[in-house]
Amino acid sequence: MVSVADSATAKLTREGLRVTSPRRLVVEAMTSAKRPFTVEDLSAALPSVGRATVFRTVRLLVEAGVLCRVVIEDGTVRYVLASSGDHHHHLVCSRCGAVQEFADPTLDRLIAANAHQRGFALASHAMELYGVCSTCLTGS
């Protein structure tokens, strides 16, 4: 079975990007993260990798669809591994910080229709919905 780290590095290779040792370390750190993480979290976990390299690698992985950029309710940005390369949105738990992906083509069509009705040329969109996850609701 292919690991998430191997899949991420393969995606970089397909995008024509070199998979250097520092980039591999960043990929391994992010795939082992148990919770949504910041670039600063990765940088602190990888003192041997330059901060700029961490930032560039995260940006490349977002552009390649390996990572999702998620805006948390307080305005901070965290990253999570993308479950799929398809367009999706996020449910963000305000208690534990868990992030779940969801896709809804009907919602996406409504967003596009609203933009069109207003004469707006929609290039892309992202949506985070905030609330409490089922784990936190049941107290598990």
* pLDDT surpassing 70 at residue 20: yes
* pLDDT surpassing 80 at residue 41: yes
pTM across the whole model: 0.81
Question: From the CB of residue 57, how many other CB atoms can be counted at a distance below 10 Å?
Answer: 28
Q: Which domains, ranges and CATH numbers included, belong to the chain? A: 1-82 (1.10.10.10), 85-140 (3.30.1490.190)
Tens digits of residue pLDDT in 94-111: 999 899 999 999 999 999
Confidence bin at 46 (pLDDT 50/70/90): very high
For residues 68 and 113, give the distance between their C-alpha atoms in angstroms, rounded to a whole number.
25
